[in-house]
Structure 1
Amino acid sequence: METKWLKSFVVAGKTENFREAANLLFISQPSVTVHIQQLEEYLQIQLFKRDNGKVSLTAEGKFFLKEAGEILSKMEEGKQNLKLFSEKKNVKINIVISPMLVESTLPQIIYQFMIENPTFEVILTVEESERIESLLQNGEANIGIGLTPSNSDFIQNELIHSSPMQFVVPLDQYDDETGVNFDIEELFGTYPFFTNHISSIFPNINLLVKDRFSFVKSISIPQCYIVKRFIKDGLGISFLPKLIIRREMMEGRFNVIPFNEFELPFVKIYMQYKLNDHNTFLIREKILNSYLD
């Protein structure tokens, strides 16, 4: 049973006029007649009564008219669904995140999206936050997630998370059973202070620390993951955003203690993408609705 047979039958059945059906279908009247005959032969049922050049639906024809219409509708729906599936399957999404976010739960969130949506191809790369805007504008990235918003009128910014800065010290400085208070000044006198990894978030951190603890010894380390490792190994102290030390806090690998010497900032995480980029909607929703800390 061919689609053209059904189309001719449905239009002819509604008009009960083969000539009018031919005009509506933009085909010849003989073609409509042949399509109806082929359909009747296939079904082995007479669908039209023919009387002196006039046609009308038989009882079976009236019954099948509804069935044929539903078949055509279902075929069209299937065609559209297949098209959407094919378009979705061919969507490639390039996501760029800042180095700090590698240590957060964001990679796991993106990985979970890939598992839930196997028809999407997601490529994840790491770049400094300052480069994200140019990568979006050049078409090298579809989504950028970093620490600074874009100033472009063609790029949408969404604040997706705000994480408090935490004062992190080696594990051996605190006894959970006795609850001994920390001596902040002693900590800065005992351990080197790791800095530079948060310079874009907290540019005046060195001045504030040295103003309060003039004796402090600073060590510049640009990567957060190295700072975390050194603190876990008992080699120093620093400030780190809560969103990148979640696992270590749960596993008790170092101490996070209150710090009231001066106000600590929040780390703001921005998601950027080009306006009207509908292909990235699903994964943006996944990220927005997920918990980063």
Structure 2
Amino acid sequence: METQWLKSFIKAAKYENLRLASEELFISQPAVTKHIQSLEKSLNIQLFVRQNKSIRLNQNGEMFLPIAQEIIDTFEVGIHRFQQYIEGFERELTIAVAPQIANSMLPSIIKQFSKHMPHVSVRVEIVKSNEVANSIQSGQSNVGLSKIKPVNPSLSVKCLNDEPIVCVGPKHLESMDMVEIIRQEKVLTHEYAPYWDEVNRQLQQHFSHTTNMKVNQTEAIKQMILEGIGVAFLPKSVVLKELEEDRLALLATNILKTCTSKTYFISKHSSVETEYLFELCKSIYGT
């Protein structure tokens, strides 16, 4: 029995169509047919009901499908681990990261972690903040960095920092009065951010009217501001690089006095790698 036979069987079962299975596997349709026939001969059973050009699993096929998938999954995990060993890696650490953290603080974290632990292979999964905890709970990731605090009691949750929300905008607004800026510029809002409701409440206290524009991706918000479109209230770490490079203007630091954004380090099991990563993140966020 060959792994390619199993892969052809799994894809054929998925699509119930040999042509679609062959296209996803990047092999010819006759090759898929031959693989399935070889598998059926090896098992001495039929796995499909064939009707003209369509196929579907019979009872034997439905029973065998999860077994075949488990064999392939185990094989691929084993090959991956062996490749890591050949390349000199002894361990693997998968980090689930929210997009705004991945685009700001993560590169520095990965650079320093890899320098200190070169034997650990790091894999990064970019997921929405509200999906970070699920990635760890399911075992897809070892640790996570998120702006949303999970409620799952089986996970360890540590707050890395509690940073201010700042208003940033294009450089040409730098010398303008904040009231005038809010009057004439759109406020780019990220309504899925956990701090936005409080930001909006405090803006209403300070200004009689704001014109909001919904943008649900932080990187898109920053790019729009760089193009001269609107202003935004964002966690300082998210725009730190652009501020240091003098590409964005810091327009206000005292308008939202009590509005902050927390970053959480989430894990399920402790290890030398996860503990070092936590201390490293705490150090970087503390600078």
Shorter-chain-normalised TM-score: which range? 0.5 to 0.7
The equivalent of 2:187 in structure 1 is 193
Alignment of 1:24-173 (within 5 A): 89-173=89-173
| Matched positions, count | 202
Write the letter of the residue equivalent to 2:211: K
**CA spacing shift, 1:115–1:279, aligned 2, 3 Å:** closer
Give ranges in structure 2 of 5+ residues lacking alignment.
1-84
**Deviation, structure 1 residue 167:** 1.0
Say what the alpha-carbon RMSD is for the aligned residues. 2.5
The equivalent of 1:37 in structure 2 is none
**Deviation, structure 1 residue 284:** 2.8
Match of 1:221 among 215, 220, 235: 215
Match of 2:265 among 271, 278, 290: 271
1:209 aligns with 2:188: no
**Deviation, structure 1 residue 145:** 0.6
Write the letter of the residue equivalent to 1:92: E
TM-score, scaled to structure 1: 0.62
**CA spacing shift, 1:261–1:244, aligned 2, 3 Å:** closer
The equivalent of 2:239 in structure 1 is 245
Equivalent residues of 2:160, 2:263 under 8 A apart: yes
Distance between the aligned counterparts of 1:223 and 1:125, measured in 2? 17
The Cα offsets for residues 66-98 of structure 1, whole Å up to 9 and x where unpaired, read as xxxxxxxxxxxxxxxxxxx99x94311110111
The equivalent of 1:42 in structure 2 is none
**Deviation, structure 1 residue 135:** 1.4
Equivalent residues of 1:158, 1:272 under 8 A apart: yes
The Cα offsets for residues 177-214 of structure 1, whole Å up to 9 and x where unpaired, read as xxx5x322210121111012563222243344345434
**CA spacing shift, 1:110–1:140, aligned 2, 3 Å:** same
1:281 aligns with 2:281: no
> What is the identity percentage for the equivalent residue pairs of Structure 1 and Structure 2?
22
The Cα offsets for residues 204-255 of structure 1, whole Å up to 9 and x where unpaired, read as 4334434543442211001111111111221111111110111111121121
Write the letter of the residue equivalent to 1:287: C
SS at match of 1:222: coil
TM-score, scaled to structure 2: 0.63
The equivalent of 2:177 in structure 1 is 183
Distance between the aligned counterparts of 2:273 and 2:237, measured in 1? 28
SS at match of 2:225: helix
**CA spacing shift, 1:138–1:217, aligned 2, 3 Å:** same
Equivalent residues of 1:195, 1:206 under 8 A apart: no
**Deviation, structure 1 residue 122:** 0.7
